[in-house]
Structures are given as C-alpha cells and as structure tokens.
DNA sequence: ATGAAAGCGCTAACAA
DNA sequence: TTGTTAGCGCTTTCAT
C-alpha cells in the first residue's frame, strides 16, 4: 500500500508546523486566512486524506454505523439496509453490515465484530431464536448507542423502532371479514417474536370483536419463508378455511403457490393476505393484499435515533411506532 | 463512551511492561508460558479488546472489506452481498457497504468513502451510467485491492468475476427455438453494460445459427426493473412476438404482468424467459424459465480474489467466469 | 524472558 | 497567529 500524504507532508512542503496544518484543515479560527488557503491547496495537490485510524485513536470515536440483520437477502431487510445506508450517507456516516442467519450464535459474533470495530453505534433486528440478550446488554454496558428495529428486544432499555403489527393485523382481518370471509385462518410465525404475537392478538381480537369464534385449528405456526407458507396451507386445508392471513408476503407467496397447485381459485374460493408489502406483492397473480410498513420512514427513524444517541443528546429512550397501511389488491 | 481496557491496564494489574502483554496476547515465542497464562486470564477478566484504531494506525491495514453495489435491495445484489458477507466472516473480515443508486456521482462518493475508511480492499459492481472510470483508477493507483463482479469495468486492470451472459443467453434462446417459438423478442438492458451486450450477442448469434433472421423491431432496450418489462412488452406487442427473452427476472415479471393484463396465455401464446433466477422466479404463475448464476460461487470467488490481493500474492490479475445454467420452468 | 524507547497520524493544551 | 509538547494504544527494534 503506497502511503498517502499526511499533515506532516503538507507541513514540510509549506515550511509550517503540522499542528498549523491540522488547524487549517479543520477551520480552526486561530489561523491566518492566507495560510489556510495555501494549506488547502497543498492538501488537494497531495491528495491528502485524513487518516481515520489516527483520528479514531485520538477521539475514540468513529463515523461508522453497524447494522445487524437476520438475513441480508430478504426483501424486507435488504430494503431497510438500503434505507439506513442512504440515510447514513446523508449524515456523513458509513455502514458496516453483519447477518446472523437467524442464529443466536452468529448474532453474538456479529455484536462482537461490531464492538471490536469500534462502531459509533449499532442498529439491529434480532434473530428468531435469540432468547438470551446478554450480548446486547454488553453493548449497553459499554455505552455504545443501540437501536432495535422490527424485531426488538423488550428486555433491553434503549431506543426501538417498531411496526404496528397489531394495527396492521386488525386492518387485514377486518378487511377480510368485510369482504364476507368467515373461516379466516392465520399462518403465523414463531411466537418467540413479539411482532408475531402482536399479529396473532390482532387476528383473534378482530375475529371476536366481529362475533366470530377463534378456531385453534385455523392457526398454524412456521417461519417467514415461502416453504412455511406451502406447509401452512397444507396443514390448514383439511379445516376448510376461506381466507389465509399470512405472517408475511413470502409466506403468502408459498401458500398461494400451494393453493394454486390444489386448483383453488383465488380470491373466489380462498383469499390470501400477507404482510410487509414486498416488491413482488404487486406482480404475482393475483396481486397480493398486504400491509405496507413505510420502510423509508423506518430506516430513517432508526438512523436518526441512533445519531441522537451518538451525539449524546440527553433524553429518555424512545420507542417509535411506524404506522401500518392496508394495501388491498386482487387476492382478497 | 466508557473506555475499555488497554494492554497498559493489563500490564499495571500484573506488574508487567505493556510490551510483554502485547507479546503474550499475540503468542510471541519470547514469553514465559506462565506469564502468558496470567496475561490471558487478566485480559479476559478486564474484557480486553484490541483497539482497531491503534493497530490500524501502526500497521496501516484494516480487516474491513468494502462493497459497492448499484442497489442493495435488488434480489441479485442483496444475495451477492449476503454471500460476500458470509465469506468475509469466515475469513475474519468485516464488511462495509455502499450503494450508488445507479448514479456515477454517488459511485464516486462511495469509492471516496471506502478509501477514506481505509478499507483493506473493495468489491464493486458498477452503476449503469458509469462511463468514466477515474475513481476506480484512483483506487488502483493507491494500490488498494479491487475486484469487480457482474458489472465490470473492462478498462481497469484488476481481478474480475464475470457471469457467462453470452452462454446463458445462448441456452435460453436455443431452448425457446427448440420449443418451437420463432418470433423471439429480446427485452434488453442498457447497452452501456457489457453484460447486456453479451446477452444481445448470444441472442442474435443463436437466432442466426438456427437460420432465423434478426428483426430489429423485436429488440427493445430498457433497465432492470419490472416497469421496464411492462414498457418493453407494450412496445413489442404490435410486432407479434411469440416469446420474450428478458434481460433479467424483474423485467420478465413486469412483462408477464403486462401480457396477462392483455389476456395472453403464457406459455401457449407467448413464452417468457428471464435471467438471474431470482427467488420469486419459482413462485410466480406460471413459474419463470430463467438462467441461474450460482450466487454463492460468485460471492466467494470475489472475496477469495480480493483476499489474495490483500495478502500480496504476486500473480497476474485474473478474470473468473461463473457458469450459467438454464432453469426451465412453466413459462416456456 | 522482559523492559525501554520510538513512532504510526492526529489533536488538545500550553507557550511564545 | 504559529510552534512545542504530549499522548491516544499498539508494535517493532534494540538493550538488558
């Protein structure tokens, strides 16, 4: 690696002391205007680039935000990562990324990697199976700023950006009931996640509010992937549902595939609704009714909260709720 | 930020000099076995974590790989980022990410951000509109390791991981011809990208090899998103194609949507084929014939080439070609 | 086997 | 307004 110019190189060229150069570059008031100009010119000429290791070593701060997600390649998470990256960019931060692959072990390593890289703060969505939060507690003990989003850790006292899963589920189920569906099934996710429990609660509450009974046989649990939708549909069909409310769009996609294979007409014989408003939801046939969750707003909120923490704004921790919006399409 | 323990803290606790501690921690041979043990124990006790700023400052090296992609949230790129991240993890590197949003301006900023963060190396796919490569030349001039993938810069002398676009296109078009389709259209991408030109070449070569003429009206150019497929289908329909070979699956999805809206039966009246084998390709109705490109292999190759460069292996730059494989599904 | 000294590039405090 | 000194945490060289 050919070494790049340092402030000392600039100083030598200009017969100045490197501290003067340092001041000039950082617009310190105590520096002659003409000196500053020559310094800036020389810096440009020598392609000077401040050394992050040196500034980091002195300040013990970095301009890097760490993101930890379960799976980078999922539509929802990749969108959020994209939004976070854009927002971070706007505010002068770079982004470091890790994925837990939905395992607590990897998640622990992810956290360790972030801390070892001395990131300015961490934005995280926990993995499905995380039940011990010691690694996140350690982040807080080191007073490294931390913001959870989507899949939050309720036990941890820090900022959170949460979706309105309950409200979203209520909207979907009410919509299905309004459309005349009566045997509404729920292809749920793993109950270890609060968002899954909230959707379930919204589902049962709305059924009961409308005088419909909750049939346990119409509730199945799985994961967030298409195969879980396929499997869920198979388990539900013997109980003759007339609508499927799926925990997310990927699951809805799998369920839709299975139902089509069985020759069902959607939405005439069975309706399907998802959650997340993945990009494909509008391109499948029939297009999928789902709940949109304002990903841009979510990503920005996460970054903004984190930066407030980084900047040391003294304030109580906050939980931001992102609004859900029902998107009605052809599948219901 | 509560400061973490340093080697000096450990040294003080143990009445040793910090250099001895440093040696002990790095398994230097010149250190008493019992001393090493007590040092390791104390390091663990104090939650010692080496300071990356200090080691970076001394060594002028980091253990961070930078990735630059056009759009993080596209199925293809997010998969590749995921694969790269996994591979980097295995080899002890962390990953920093940027997206150009398909604009050269942002791409230039991305490169600057990576260099300013002193990453160990950069893995990049260039944006559609990048025509000047000065920013990448600068990377090479600073002898920062650089590997292009998918969308490569031919003018830059460095490692490249390329897809076999030509071979993939040949397979798709030959398959369509074998299935009896004769008026095969191509919804192409922007010709600024070599991968797009290679697919186009594979398309025309295969038509001609089979004694079919190339009808310019059956070739349209656009981008990589569903809307470009919708638009492409509209422009092609007046010329009565019986098959559409699309530049990627997203475009195929859009085209499929448009054709369905027009009441066409797929694949009876019109066949559709894509490229990339996005996750949804198997879930749409009808499932989409496409070309798979071994994303894991691609991500690993990119990381492995980069790490070879980082480790200073003296060797000529290489171009790795990733095999394409036709995936026949219901849409043809 | 351990310690001392020096320096990576930068900035803050103090001196001139 | 500019220069001097010192130190962030670490490793390398040389001395003991």
Does residue B169 carry a pLDDT above 60?
A: yes
Say how many residues make up chain A: 332
Closest partner CB to A57 (pick from B2, B57, B141): B57
H-state helical runs in B117-248: 134-141, 165-178, 194-209, 226-236
Q: Which residues in A63-81 are b (16+ Cβ under 10 Å) and which e?
A: bbbbbbbbbbbbbbbbbbb
Q: What is the mean pLDDT of chain B?
A: 96
Give residue-wise pLDDT tens across range A77-123: 999 999 999 999 999 999 999 999 999 999 999 999 999 999 999 99
Query: Smallest Cα–Cα separation from B230: which of B240, B217, B244?
Result: B244
Closest chain B residue by Cα to residue A62: B53
SS3 state of residue A188: strand
Measured CA to CA, the distance from residue A70 to residue A67 in angstroms comes to 10
Residue B75, chain A, CB below 8 Å: the answer is: yes
Using CA of residue A113, residue A116, residue A118, residue A121, what is the dihedral sign?
positive
Query: In degrees to the nearest 10, what's the CA dihedral of B130, B134, B135, B141?
Result: 150
The spacing between the Cα labelled CA in A18 and the C1' in D5, in angstroms, equals 13
Cα A47–B61–A28 angle (5° rounding)? 45
Q: Is residue B126 pLDDT above 60, yes or no?
A: yes
Backbone angles phi, psi at A55, to 5 degrees: -65, -40
Tens digits of per-residue pLDDT, B225-242? 999 999 999 999 999 999
Interatomic CA–C1' length for residue A131 and nucleotide D13, angstroms: 50
Two tokens at A1?
């690696």
Measured CA distances, B42 to B9, B34, B38, B39 (Å): 9, 12, 6, 5
Residue B224: which residues within 8 A CB-CB, separation 6 or more? B74, B128, B189, B247, B248, B250, B251
Enumerate residues 6+ apart whose C-beta is below 8 A from A186: A199, A200, A203, A218, A219, A220, A244, A245, A246, A247
pLDDT bin (cut points 50, 70, 90) of residue B314 is confident
B78/A contact by beta carbon, under 8 A: yes
- What pLDDT does A1 receive? 47
pLDDT at A136: 98
Q: Look at B98 and A86 and tell me if their CB atoms are within 8 Å.
A: no
C-alpha separations of B210 from A36, A301, B56 in Å: 70, 57, 59
Name residues 180-209 of chain A within 8 A of B (Cβ): none
Q: Which whole-number Å values give the CA distances from A199 to B2, B71, B81, in the listed order?
A: 39, 31, 31
How much is the pLDDT for B2? 60
B127-154 confidence digits (pLDDT tens): 999 999 999 999 999 999 999 999 999 9
What are the chain A neighbours of B3 within 8 Å (beta carbons)?
60
CA separation for the pair A272, A259 (Å, rounded)? 10
Q: Which domains does chain A have, with CATH numbers?
A: 7-45 (no CATH), 64-163+295-322 (3.40.50.2300), 165-293 (3.40.50.2300)
Distance CA B332, CA B328 (A): 7
**B60 inside 8 A of chain A by CB:** yes
pLDDT of residue A233: 98
| Residues of chain B contacting A277 with CB distance shorter than 8 Å | none
Distance CA(A195)–CA(A128), nearest Å, equals 11
Residue A2: per-residue pLDDT:
61
Q: Which of A52, A97, A283 sits opposite B95 (nearest CB)?
A: A97
| A286 Cβ contact partners less than 8 Å away, ≥ 6 residues apart | A266, A267, A329, A330, A331
- Digit-coded pLDDT (tens) for B256-278: 999 999 999 999 999 999 999 99
My answer on whether omega of the bond before A286 falls inside 30° of 0, hence cis, is yes
| Residue numbers of A between 253 and 272 with CB closer than 8 Å to B | 253-254, 256-257, 260
Please check whether residue B117 touches A, CB under 8 A.
yes
Q: What percent of chain A has pLDDT over 90?
A: 97
pLDDT in tens, chain A (332 residues): 467 999 999 999 999 999 999 999 999 999 999 999 999 999 999 999 999 999 999 999 999 999 999 999 999 999 999 999 999 999 999 999 999 999 999 999 999 999 999 999 999 999 999 999 999 999 999 999 999 999 999 999 999 999 999 999 999 999 999 999 999 999 999 999 999 999 999 999 999 999 999 999 999 999 999 999 999 999 999 999 999 999 999 999 999 999 999 999 999 999 999 999 999 999 998 999 999 999 999 999 999 999 999 998 889 999 999 999 999 999 99
d(CA A320, CA B290): 42
Whether any strand D atom is under 7 angstroms from the Cβ of B59: the reply reads: yes
For B220, the 3-state DSSP assignment is strand
Is residue B1's pLDDT more than 50? no
Gap between the Cα atoms of B123 and A142, Å rounded? 32
Helix axes A165-178, A194-209, angle to 10 degrees: 30
Average pLDDT over residues B6-25: 96
Amino acid A33 CA to nucleotide C8 C1' distance, rounded Å: 30
Is A103 in CB contact (< 8 Å) with chain B?
A: no
CB atoms under 10 Å from CB of A98, counted, come to 26
Task: Give the Cα separation of A73 and B279 in Å (integer).
Answer: 10
Residue pair B232/B246 in contact by the 8 Å Cβ criterion: yes
> In chain B, what residues touch A283 (CB-CB under 8 Å)?
226, 253-254, 256-257, 280, 284
pLDDT tens, residue by residue, B31-84: 999 999 999 999 999 999 999 999 999 999 999 999 999 999 999 999 999 999
Beta strands in B71-145 (DSSP E): 94-99, 121-124
């Amino acid at each position: 690696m050919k070494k790049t110019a340092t402030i000392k190189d600039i100083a030598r060229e200009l017969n100045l002391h490197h501290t003067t150069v340092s001041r000039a570059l950082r617009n310190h008031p105590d520096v002659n205007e003409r000196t500053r100009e020559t310094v800036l010119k020389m810096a440009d000429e020598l392609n000077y680039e401040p050394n992050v290791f040196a500034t980091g070593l002195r300040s013990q701060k970095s301009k890097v935000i760490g993101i930890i997600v379960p799976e980078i390649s999922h539509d929802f998470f990749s969108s959020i990562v994209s939004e976070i990256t854009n927002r971070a960019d706007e505010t002068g931060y770079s982004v470091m990324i890790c994925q837990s692959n939905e395992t607590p072990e990897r998640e622990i390593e992810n956290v360790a990697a972030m801390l070892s890289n001395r990131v300015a703060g961490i934005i995280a969505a926990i993995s499905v199976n995380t039940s011990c939060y010691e690694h996140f507690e350690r982040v807080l003990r080191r007073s490294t700023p931390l913001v959870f989003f989507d899949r939050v850790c309720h036990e941890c006292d820090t900022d959170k950006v949460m979706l309105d899963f309950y409200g979203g589920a209520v909207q979907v189920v009410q919509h299905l009931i309004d459309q005349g569906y009566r045997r509404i099934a729920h292809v749920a996710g793993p109950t270890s996640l609060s968002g899954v429990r909230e959707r379930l609660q919204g589902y049962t509450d709305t059924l009961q509010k409308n005088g419909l009974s909750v049939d346990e046989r119409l509730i199945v649990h799985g994961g967030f992937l298409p195969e879980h939708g396929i499997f869920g549909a198979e388990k539900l069909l013997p109980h003759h549902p007339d609508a499927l409310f799926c925990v997310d769009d990927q699951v809805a996609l799998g369920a839709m595939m299975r139902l089509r294979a069985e020759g069902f007409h959607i939405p005439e014989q069975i309706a399907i609704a998802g959650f997340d408003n993945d990009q494909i939801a509008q391109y499948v046939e029939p297009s999928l009714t789902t709940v949109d969750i304002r990903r841009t707003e979510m990503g920005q909120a996460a970054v903004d909260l984190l930066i407030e923490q980084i900047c040391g704004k003294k304030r109580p921790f906050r939980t931001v709720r992102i609004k859900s919006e029902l998107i009605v399409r052809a599948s219901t």
